Structure 1
């Protein structure tokens, strides 16, 4: 009997502590992005009452957060490629801090609007820039772990703000200022730490040239190097995945509590408690994703959990948003989301996009996706009122489309990325073990 040789086990080398520090400081972009969006949502009713805000201003402030993050991603990613990722990386976080201070101290709705505008643009600019900085500093065999760690920070931003909102729910404007004030302090501390950060392991020209050659990508930051097959194909594929997945994730992020109250019949406190209770599941499992991000298990588990995620939305749709069905949905969704969600998009983007224009190309996919999310959010309340079932089935279809796009990214694009740990074309063909433990800390050399 002839045995088919199996792929050798990959031994994932430990990542030096100083690179985990880079990932953590870069991950603050994700923390502050998520925390800004959620803090505005949590505080909006307080702002409306305290500032005697009209319905159109309330809607404008909600929409401007997502819109500014989209514009900031587009412009900031390009500026980072042109003027240097380190320079933009250091200053966009400072601009975010300025915006957060303005939001915290705003005496009226007009000043609040200005603060949201500044913080949103800066948050958007920092997202693609910080991911590119991590990729530049990371060794090929550790890039996925370091990039995916930024997703831990993203989930943490949501958890912290919702927890603070829950604790301070009866304190009015004082609680709102505490929530946004902590964003200003976090951004200023991050700016100070980033400004002193030394990235000794930034890739040499030879390393970047080898990676570009592996991806069949031309060298240089010129816009013509964005409009070619090496850049357009991974951009289109990762955008298709992120935008279809994100329609569901963003809808439940912004309107999950609203749906539980208006459709499921839950009280405001119960709806908030449900969201808060299930978020720690996602946080813990995102750490698990970081452990396996540089192994074939990363993409193998995507196959499994993208199906679980679709099943979660099917349950919500079949029960038309009934409370029991929504409880089942939240369990399945928080279990599957870490392995078939934004973390996958971040890793795939850094593995497949050309190295010289990563800021520009991922900034473009971020911007287009966030623009779509803003448009969908605008019509979601009306669609929910017309038919919750139609809304939920539409989101389910988007999740199914994201699964198809994700499978294409894995099988057609990730496989040719340099140093990538990829799953077999058919899950289960080869055997591979999970890493024996989390990365160990090492002192900076």
Structure 2
């Protein structure tokens, strides 16, 4: 006999505020280490590049190659790693790609010359890329629908911490030369080894979600399959959210990646700030970013997540408009940094991570998000190659181009919220509960 669906009980707690069990927070933290190591690797190479150049007597082409290869390898690793995880088991890949990162980071730390350094960058970059979509899929598989937003959003806090630790160590160890450079990358190797040991002992029971099973067309109670055919990526259920989240991530990321890689460079070359002032500005805003990202985690499973996106997206576009109107003048850039840091945590990569896990079919999460990560990172790498030349030609052209990208990202995000999120599993029950509570 079929069961009649029961209406949500308005006296029960809001599902978005239900406490999350500690073992799931542990899983989110260990999965978030992929973001920590990804950000830490990129920033540490950037911080240490001048030291590597002098110590290894590197030519300009080798220095450029190492910088570009980090981004390219992360892109390739995301594409291949996500697919391998869906084929052979996410937990298995989840455990071993972090081990491979530790090996690569150790090679970078102990490299006696630039060739060995390049090999280490290749290994660490590929492993970091592979771990990004895999780790998100693992925590998403283990999370109940009412907690998925908060757990996935927490990985973005780890990403912010990866940046903060690398920049802080670079600042503190700036006078120690190669010893400091080895310590900065050595902490990444140590963090990866500890994460590998903890992940190996992590016990998660991926509880099937009937709502999600129905969303992907699986029978009730079915577990997420392995070895799914690649053609499942091109079904409407996967293609539409994959395209929408990609458009959001790539347009938002062109602006964020430009200021992530060239923020200090633009402050010095365009805004005429000193090196110490430019570095200080970036350091000053990192705690704000971490705190606001934690605030995003608190609302990630509630309607406020998407409501705040609209406000933050407008403020974010306004920030780039100010920078563009002032053509990168120092006062305009200071206003930009304030507005950007206040809005970015609520209209940026954290949204992309949550939306991807909510809207992509469960059986292809690793493959599809790996594909969007890879393609976007490849575009970021190409854009980074031309950014210094474009900034020298016209800072205004560069800044207005980024402003246009941010505006497109706002529209893409609005489409995801209005069209795709309502179809996602777990959203309808939460909204029904809230309506019943207000009745």
Same fold (TM over 0.5): yes
CA distance in 2 between counterparts of 1:295 and 1:130 reads: 23
* CA distance in structure 1 between the aligned counterparts of 2:257 and 2:78, rounded to whole angstroms: 17
- The number of equivalent residue pairs is 420
Q: Is the partner of 1:141 in helix, strand or coil?
A: coil
1:329 and 2:311 correspond: no
The corresponding residue for 2:113 is 108
C-alpha displacement of 1:211: 4.0
Q: 1:319 deviation in Å?
A: 0.8
Map of 1:436 onto structure 2: none
Counterpart position of 2:203:
198
Instruction: Look up the match of 1:356.
Output: 363
Indicate which of 135, 142, 145 corresponds to 1:140.
145
Q: 1:320 to 1:431 in 2, by over 3 A?
A: farther
Two-structure CA RMSD over aligned residues (Å) = 2.2
Q: Deviations over 1:393-429 (max 9, x none)?
A: 00000000000000001111011101127999xxxxx
The 8 Å contact of residues 248 and 409 in structure 2, kept in 1 or not, is answered as: yes
CA distance in 2, matches of 1:123, 1:421: 34
Give the conservation status (yes or no) of the 8 Å contact 1:65–1:120. Answer: yes
Give yes or no for contact 1:35–1:158 (8 Å, CA) kept in 2.
Answer: yes
Q: Distance in 2 between matches of 1:329 and 1:248?
A: 12
What aligned pairs does 1:276-355 form with structure 2 within 5 A after superposition? 276-355=283-362
CA offsets 1:7-42 (integer angstroms, 9 cap, x no match) = 979342110000000000000000000010000111
In 2: Cα distance, 1:423 partner to 1:250 partner: 34
Compared CA separation, residues 229 and 196, structure 1 to 2 (3 A) = same
Q: Deviations over 1:252-297 (max 9, x none)?
A: 0000000011111111111111000011101000000000000000
Change over 3 Å in CA distance of 1:105–1:300 after alignment to 2: same
Counterpart contact for 1:10–1:295, Cα < 8 Å: no
Partner of 1:87: 92
Distance 2:278 2:343 in 1: 21
SS of equivalent residue, structure 2 residue 57 = coil
1:67-103 per-residue CA deviation (whole Å, 9 max, x = no partner) reads 0000000000000000000000000000000000000
| TM-score between the two structures when normalised by the length of structure 1 | 0.91
Cα distance in structure 1, aligned partners of 2:302 and 2:429: 7
State the distance in 2 between where 1:172 and 1:276 align.
20
State the secondary structure of the residue aligned to 1:53.
coil
CA shift at 1:205, angstroms?
Answer: 8.1
- Residues 228-243 of structure 1 correspond to what in structure 2 (within 5 A)? 228-243=235-250
Distance 2:108 2:429 in 1: 44
Q: How has the CA–CA distance of structure 1 residues 421 and 306 changed in structure 2, closer, same or farther, with 3 Å as cutoff?
A: farther
> Which residue number in structure 1 is paired with residue 74 of structure 2?
69
The aligned residue for residue 442 of structure 1 is none
Q: Give the structure with the larger helix fraction.
A: 2
Partner of 1:440: none
Of 277, 296, 299, the residue aligned with 1:270 is: 277
Shift of 1:379: 0.3
Q: What pairs up with 1:169-180 in 2 under 5 angstroms?
A: 169-180=174-185
1:207 deviates by: 6.5
Counterpart mapping for 1:117-136 below 5 A: 117-136=122-141
Give the corresponding residue for 2:256.
Answer: 249
Alignment partner of 1:21 is 2:22: no
Distance verdict in 2 for CA 1:205–1:395, change over 3 Å:
closer
SS at match of 1:226: helix
Give structure 1 stretches of 5+ with no counterpart: 1-6, 425-429, 434-445
Normalising by structure 2, we get a TM-score of 0.92
1:33-52 → structure 2 map (5 Å cutoff)? 33-52=38-57
**Structure 2 residue aligned with 1:373, among 372, 375, 380?**
380
